Amino acid sequence: MRSQTRKRFEHGESEYQPIEGQIVWIDDHTDDDKLFVIDLPDGVALDHEPGQFVQLFVPGVGEAPFSIASSPTNEGPFELCIRAVGNVTNAIHDMEAGDVVGIRGPYGQGFDVDAIAGEDLLFIAGGIGLAPLRSVINYALDRPGEFGELTTLYGCTEPAEQLFPEELDSWAGSDVMDYRETVDEVPEDQAWDGNIGVITSLIPPLEFDPESTVALVCGPPVMYRFVIKALREKGLADDRIYLSLERNMHCGRGLCGHCQLNELYVCLDGPVFHYPTVRDKEEAEV
């Protein structure tokens, strides 16, 4: 756990001071989603844990929180997968490689990789929820032998919404990970020969040992309750489930209150929560 007590800053400095990040590469994923590869000055590492987030500052537009999509095992620049849905995200979608943004963080609690070491990992991602999970999926893939069997379930509304298509192909062809995907529907202009149905439809056919499996889940709010129900039906105990939750962090530091979830602050106590911590909290919507 990261300590809440941070260093005292020098004259004029504060934790609101961003580091200058330079966009070094932009990859179009879907009509609305782009992957931004961001380098920090002197190639310094972001030094994050899988599942943590940063506050990204776009000069003249504003600041917003984004989960880090890359694994800390991937040295050098880090990656953010951003969907254009508001002022900040639309503005960054208009930016080009070479442009400068401000970065604060990393913030929050990520996936506790020590607690899940040695376990079989079942990743369950819905839509853009794949971005935060990718940081821990790739972490596990980059550390062979540290975890047991790896399984990833990925559900999207439609085929055109799939993120990281090249990685999905490599996961699908991989013998180190069981990768399964589904879409809710297939519009006439899109091709798809895989499973059709909501993400929970992928869970009953799975064969996994509930005694040695840990589920890591991230997706839209509506998804959690149903996924957890399906996992419970497979015999998975609540304390073997981890969730990454979304809230609108403004400060990232447990002050502004926007991300408060009952008595918890998602920016300090999350965004990744052990399910038993939030199970009985109405505002978690899980």
Interface with another protein includes 60 (CB under 8 A)?
yes
Cβ 11 to another protein shortest distance, Å: 9
Residues 96 and 274: their CA atoms lie apart, in Å, by: 38
CB 246 within 8 A of CB 259: no
* Cβ 22 to another protein shortest distance, Å: 9
Nearer to another protein, 214 or 284 (CB): 284
Going by C-beta distance under 8 Å and a sequence separation of 6 or more, which residues neighbour residue 194? 181, 182, 183
CB of 220 to another protein, least distance (A): 8
Q: Is 20 in the site for another protein (CB under 8 A)?
A: yes
**Bridge partner residues of 154 (DSSP):** 125, 181
φ, ψ of residue 63 to 5 degrees: the values are -130, 145
Q: Is residue 285 a contact residue for another protein (CB under 8 A)? A: yes
CB of 60 to another protein, least distance (A): 5
Close Cβ partners of 9 (under 8 Å, ≥ 6 residues apart): 15, 17
Residues 82-111 that bind another protein (CB under 8 A): 83, 85-86, 89, 100, 102
One residue of 80, 125, 156, 261 binding another protein per CB under 8 A: 261
- One residue of 73, 190, 212, 248 binding another protein per CB under 8 A: 248
Cis peptide before 276 (omega within 30 of 0): no
Q: Which residues between 208 and 227 bind another protein (CB under 8 A)?
A: 220-221
DSSP 36-95: EEEE-GGG------TT-EEEEEETTTEEEEEE--S-TTS-SSEEEEEE--SHHHHHHHT-
Residues of this chain that interact with another protein (CB under 8 A) are 4-9, 12-18, 20, 57, 59-64, 83, 85-86, 89, 100, 102, 220-221, 246-248, 250-251, 253-258, 260-263, 282-283, 285
